[in-house]
A = this chain, B = another copy of it.
């Protein structure tokens, strides 16, 4: 179905992306910045989750965010309410961020001034899966309103992620969300994947997320990097 020549060109683009992503990862590590990316469908609540995260984590750490969208600066405007430095990347018709877009956006900042960098991808459960952005942790968000079958229908993005975050859990009863099926589907695609459950609206699960993140990043709530070992 897909043109062989398109596949070949795409392979080269991905290879080039991986080189830039590797450089980015080295820069992040050298500067002590823990980088987290967020992928999901449009409307899964990435921006609401990130807004709460910036406020919560930003109260004790130095945080910043990059946010990708085809068009509009709306998400950046929303996220700036947290007072964190935020930059919007508009991709035009491109259905994902790539490492060069992230690198370009970083020019404005001194990485040594940051503890955490969050990168919100374009809303898409397909395209972002192949593009390494140099992040340490990739979250795939899934809202209860989208149904329990998404991991089975979009396995590649779940494979590429490190953690699943089930969002809008305040609506779980209203949509008769089947927790058992959802968790079984996630585990069948990606065994042992950690699953967090949150509601940006009620705040449920956000403290667990904060603790999880700080533990993964090896940073204490006081904002200092914990000695390893």
Contacts and interface: CB of A to CB of B under 8 A. Distances in A.
A161 interface: no
A124 B122 contact: no
Contacts of A100: 1
Most buried by B among A143, A146, A168: A146
A154 B154 CA distance: 20
B74 A152 contact: yes
B71 A153 contact: yes
Interface residues of A, number: 51
A145 B125 contact: no
How many copies altogether? 2
Interface in A1-57: 1-3, 5-6, 9-10, 12-13, 16, 41-44
A220 interface: no
Most buried by B among A9, A41, A42, A150: A42
Interface stretch (A58-66, A87-95, A206-214): A87-95
Contact of A70 (B9, B123, B155): B155
A147 interface: yes
Interface string A128-168: 01100000000000010111011011111000000000001
27 contacts: A1-B94, A3-B9, A6-B9, A9-B9, A41-B43, A41-B123, A42-B150, A43-B145, A69-B153, A70-B126, A70-B156, A71-B154, A74-B149, A74-B152, A93-B129, A93-B130, A95-B124, A95-B126, A95-B127, A123-B154, A124-B125, A124-B126, A124-B127, A126-B127, A127-B127, A145-B168, A174-B174
Per CB-CB distance, the 5 closest pairs between chain A and chain B, nearest first, are A43-B146, A95-B126, A145-B145, A41-B42, A41-B41
